[in-house]
Amino acid sequence: MERYLGSKVALATMHGKEKALARPFHSLLGLELELPAGIDTDQLGSFDGLVLRQGGAEHACRRKALVGMAALGLPLGLASEGSFGPHPGMPFLAAGLEVMVFLDQERGLEIWERLVARRTNFNHRSAAEPAELEGWLAQVGFPAHGLMVRPEHPCSGAETLLFKDLPDHPQLARAIDAAAAASSNGRAQVETDMRAHRNPTRMASLRVLANRLARRIASACPSCGAPGWGRLDVVPGLPCSWCGMPTPLTHRERFGCVSCSHTEEHPRPDGLAEADPQHCPLCNP
């Protein structure tokens, strides 16, 4: 897509996300990222829980992009936002939902991509002393992945006590001791740092998402030519190979435009035309 070749796009981030975004947006679209100086994206909601995010991930993401565009006076903006918690389908498994948006104010376009990251180190533990975390620290990837430490039940005056950017085990141990000492139950809460620059697993998800978003922007609508053509959702009903009844498996994919109302349905990209009877509500109830 020639449309954006050589243009600048504002990316509001304090957390090094340009490392994941710069290459796909440059190589697929010819866009150059520009980072506004002195922007505090944590004001829009932060992972340390000190600032609560207003109005959901999409809302925060769009606002962040607009703040960056306003700071730089650019009509193009990018932002991403992550949410972490139990997996929607598997409550015992941690998952991350990453959303990323591209705004083109001149053309009135808003182009989104979303990613459910099944691989995440999102986790937390309570500890009175560092020895209780042996094993767990390796599991969450410390020190390559960051940790945040705070009192589990903060004593009066210690409500905002928070240790982060801990580079090694000795400094982590000192933070746990200090947080436990400031907690009424003598325990520290230790949680994974989900800020992109302290979480290589999350940075890898952002790289995948950035590639998908850049590819979607590079796809023109077959009807009006606007950028951002891509998959909207999937249509279930793949027929059973024994009885022909529709199954819950994906039958077709629905594509759509962000600018006009044009949509198209396409067959599954893997070419599968019939479902194994094990998925059929009639043959295998």
| Residues at the site binding Zn ion, with contacts judged by CB under 5 A | 221, 223-224, 226, 240, 242-243, 245, 257, 259-260, 262, 280, 282-283
CB of 139 to Zn ion, least distance (A): 43
Helix (H, G, I), strand (E, B) or coil at 217: helix
Contact 224, 259 (CB under 8 A): yes
Question: 181 vs 282, which CB is nearer to Zn ion?
Answer: 282
CB of 18 to Zn ion, least distance (A): 30
Instruction: Give the residue carrying structure tokens 């890898």.
Output: 204
CB of 104 to Zn ion, least distance (A): 14
In angstroms, the CA 14 to CA 73 distance is: 18
Picking from 102, 110, 28, 38, the residue whose alpha carbon sits closest to that of residue 72 is 38
Kindly write down the DSSP assignment for every residue of 15-84, as one continuous string.
S-THHHHHHHHHHHH--EEEPPTT--GGGG--TTSSSPPPSHHHHHHHHHHHHHHHHHT-SEEEEEEEEE
Question: 58 vs 276, which CB is nearer to Zn ion?
Answer: 276
CB of 264 to Zn ion, least distance (A): 11
CB of 238 to Zn ion, least distance (A): 11
Instruction: Pinpoint the alpha helices (H) of 155-270.
Output: 169-181, 200-218
Question: 88 vs 108, which CB is nearer to Zn ion?
Answer: 108
CB of 228 to Zn ion, least distance (A): 8
Question: 204 vs 260, which CB is nearer to Zn ion?
Answer: 260
Picking from 150, 151, 178, the residue whose alpha carbon sits closest to that of residue 164 is 150
Q: Residue-wise over 240-268: b if at least 16 C-beta within 10 A, else e?
A: beeeeeebebbbebebbbbbeeeeeeeee
CB of 278 to Zn ion, least distance (A): 9
CB atoms within 10 A of CB 17: 26
Question: 57 vs 283, which CB is nearer to Zn ion?
Answer: 283
Question: 130 vs 230, which CB is nearer to Zn ion?
Answer: 230
The token pair at 112 is 């989104």
CB of 215 to Zn ion, least distance (A): 17
Picking from 129, 99, 119, the residue whose alpha carbon sits closest to that of residue 199 is 119
Question: 55 vs 244, which CB is nearer to Zn ion?
Answer: 244
Question: 170 vs 248, which CB is nearer to Zn ion?
Answer: 248
